[in-house]
Structure 1
Amino acid sequence: MVSYVSVLLYGVGGIVVAGMALLVAFQEKLVYVPVVPGLTKSYPMTPARLRLLYEDVWLRSSDGVRLHSWFIKLFPDCRGPTILFFQENAGNIAHRLEMVRIMLQRLQCNVFMLSYRGYGASEGFSSQLGITKDAQAALDHLFQRTDIDTSRIIVFGRSLGGAVGAVLTKNNPDKVAAIILENTFTSILDMAGVLLPFLKWFIGKSSSKGPRLLNFLVRSPWNTIDVIGEIKQPILFLSGLQDEMVPPSHMQMLYAKAAARNQQCSFVEFPNGMHMDTWLSGGDRYWSTIQEFLEKTVPQKNSDSKQDFEAR
């Protein structure tokens, strides 16, 4: 009997150790996926293919990494809101162009799309510290432009992009007017237990039992649950209840943490929304929700109206 127990304990211990080893060795490959299996790192298309008015923008992060981005305008002299969009972890900005095309039309805005380091045409290798620098470089670029209304810059982050955007928004209360978070996780520490359930006993952030013993192993923790409570700007939470990757409870926890300190928070659920398609399955309600949020937080100041656009 003792030998069987010993074998069981050794077996469980071996699985745990192996899991930890895999986590340490491959965690960046799980968190950052610039190349989707079966596809190439290069852009499958550019905004020109969708007849969008755009410019290639090359930036330098504060540590010298060369970054590529697209600045897409609704029309040449549009002074509507400018959305700084941060994508999910998989693929590159070209894979989000169809959504952005609809965003431009429905929200009457400009969109700045950043390729994180290691993604698309950007140089370098992805890390939390590095991507945080990349996001700051993108915002600094927008704030220096003279062809947009810099008082109407909105951060929009989905999944990993929500974690990126939350840090940027917290760090720039005078440059970011508001933030939209969609299907974002509380932290990568909590996501470790979602991806590999046995890890929740060793790695985690938001449990009532507090931080776990081996949290230090995670190099990109992205603790959005800590950051969200420090954001003073208006926040819109968009949650797809059929999210198959990030449990919807993560968005609920983020909202609860933010709303306890920030009265400018709104939380909207979409019953059929999955991780990547809430913008599509949400239909008119999805876009009207965002439009109402923009009208409330960054109201129109000039003649950039829908009628002006149609006249052009």
Structure 2
Amino acid sequence: MVTYVSALFYGVGGIVVAGVALLVAFQEKLVYVPVLPGLSKSYPITPSRLNLDYEDVWLQSSDGVRLHAWFIKMFPHCRGPTILFFQENAGNIAHRLEMVRIMIQKLKCNVFMLSYRGYGASDGSPSQHGLTKDAQAALDHLSQRTDIDTSRIVVFGRSLGGAVGALLTKNNPDKVSALILENTFTSILDMAGVLLPFLKWFIGGSGTKSLKLLNFVVRSPWKTIDAIAEVKQPVLFLSGLQDEMVPPFHMKMLYAKAAARNSQCTFVEFPNGMHMDTWLSGGEVYWKTNMQFLEKYAPEKGRTIREGK
């Protein structure tokens, strides 16, 4: 006769096994969401709808995947900073156009928006290995352009885009002037327990009490906490304290890790900022923060902003 304890043990064990099986089979569906529910993979609008001057750019990653991007300029011969924009995990670059439109106006910059593989008009299927190559292809393209100031390339990433951007910035100290992270996670290993709470006992990053027995099954760990520790360029951390997806303490941990080795780190909190709307709820303070960072760390040639000015 099966005892109550045995039944409980087998029941819990079955739930864990089922959960792990789901994680192994569908983890990319949790990390990468190229198509929002009820919508198509195609772009709902293009920059022209918002009266933005843009160029369709087609790239090829180092493994041969064809990628699409939009290069949007404030005006045709704008030599201001160029922001390499990496989006969150859900939807495509068209869903960020309103934010980018305001970014261009407020920061007097160009913006290069990359569609990750499997997103928008880009070919392929998303993975950490693939997105790392995609980001490098985008940066290499910008670095070879003659119509921008290549000494003023700044990487901006929100959430998943922050993980992509941190790794790219670490790998390219001579091509990226500065990095801006917004509402980014420490790692997908740490986020596993947020998305599926029972997994926090089996999957986790170096700063957690997890047994880490199942870390090996995670195919896209995105260890931002490790990448940011090696970034030598200036970093601006923008944290929405009402973030409902990534716990705000993740951003504090990233800042602490970076600031331990990098004196050019700035951390700014936005009390009403949620995961996707910190740029909106932050109002003028948000844009002023970004502008001051760019003026200091990606200034015009021959013009520098001294410490404290």
Gaps of 5+ in 2: 304-309
- Cα distance in 2, alignment partners of residues 186 and 231 from structure 1: 14
Q: Which residue of 2 aligns with 1:128?
A: 128
Q: CA deviation at 1:281?
A: 0.3
Q: Which residue of 2 aligns with 1:256?
A: 256
CA deviations over 1:54-112 (Å, ceiling 9, x no partner): 00000000000000000000000000000000000000000000000000000000000
- Cα distance in 1, alignment partners of residues 45 and 211 from structure 2: 43
- Cα distance in 2, alignment partners of residues 86 and 208 from structure 1: 27
Q: Which residue of 2 aligns with 1:178?
A: 178
- Cα distance in 2, alignment partners of residues 227 and 134 from structure 1: 17
Q: CA deviation at 1:206?
A: 3.7
Q: Which amino acid aligns with 1:227?
A: A
Q: CA deviation at 1:2?
A: 6.8
SS at match of 1:84: strand
Q: Which residue of 2 aligns with 1:279?
A: 279
Q: Which residue of 1 aligns with 2:239?
A: 239
Say if 1:244 and 1:208 are closer, same or farther in 2 by CA, change over 3 A: closer
Residue 107 of structure 1 pairs with residue 107 of structure 2: yes
SS at match of 2:169: helix
Q: Which amino acid aligns with 1:177?
A: S
SS at match of 1:23: helix
Q: CA deviation at 1:210?
A: 6.5
Contact kept? 1:186, 1:206, Cα under 8 Å: no
Aligned-CA RMSD value: 1.3
Contact kept? 1:71, 1:112, Cα under 8 Å: yes
Say if 1:244 and 1:77 are closer, same or farther in 2 by CA, change over 3 A: same
Contact kept? 2:200, 2:210, Cα under 8 Å: no
Q: Which residue of 2 aligns with 1:301?
A: 301
Q: Which residue of 2 aligns with 1:60?
A: 60
Say if 1:89 and 1:151 are closer, same or farther in 2 by CA, change over 3 A: same
- What is the TM-score when the length of structure 2 is the normalising length? 0.96
Contact kept? 2:203, 2:215, Cα under 8 Å: yes
Q: CA deviation at 1:207?
A: 3.0
SS at match of 1:57: strand
SS at match of 1:230: coil
- Cα distance in 2, alignment partners of residues 207 and 195 from structure 1: 18
CA deviations over 1:179-233 (Å, ceiling 9, x no partner): 0000000000000000111100000004343761110000000000111100000
Summarize the alignment of residues 140-179 of structure 1 with structure 2, pairs less than 5 Å apart.
Answer: 140-179=140-179
Say if 1:206 and 1:281 are closer, same or farther in 2 by CA, change over 3 A: farther
Say if 1:211 and 1:162 are closer, same or farther in 2 by CA, change over 3 A: farther
- Cα distance in 1, alignment partners of residues 195 and 209 from structure 2: 20
- What is the TM-score when the length of structure 1 is the normalising length? 0.95
Q: Which amino acid aligns with 1:79?
A: R
Query: Which stretch shows the higher mean deviation, 293-302 or 136-145?
Result: 293-302
CA deviations over 1:154-178 (Å, ceiling 9, x no partner): 0000000000000100000000000
SS at match of 1:59: strand
SS at match of 1:165: helix
Contact kept? 2:202, 2:210, Cα under 8 Å: no
- Cα distance in 2, alignment partners of residues 71 and 137 from structure 1: 14
Q: Which residue of 2 aligns with 1:137?
A: 137
CA deviations over 1:38-64 (Å, ceiling 9, x no partner): 111000000000000000000000000
- Cα distance in 1, alignment partners of residues 130 and 215 from structure 2: 20
Gaps of 5+ in 1: 304-312
Q: Which amino acid aligns with 1:193?
A: G
Contact kept? 1:205, 1:211, Cα under 8 Å: no
Q: CA deviation at 1:238?
A: 0.2
CA deviations over 1:229-271 (Å, ceiling 9, x no partner): 0000000000000000000010000000000000000000000
Q: Which residue of 2 aligns with 1:309?
A: none
Q: Which residue of 2 aligns with 1:307?
A: none
Contact kept? 1:93, 1:114, Cα under 8 Å: yes
Aligned residues: 303
Q: Which residue of 2 aligns with 1:310?
A: none
Q: Which amino acid aligns with 1:38?
A: G
CA deviations over 1:104-131 (Å, ceiling 9, x no partner): 0000000000000000000000000000
Q: Which amino acid aligns with 1:220?
A: S
Contact kept? 1:132, 1:164, Cα under 8 Å: yes
Contact kept? 2:34, 2:90, Cα under 8 Å: yes
Q: Which residue of 1 aligns with 2:78?
A: 78
SS at match of 2:3: helix
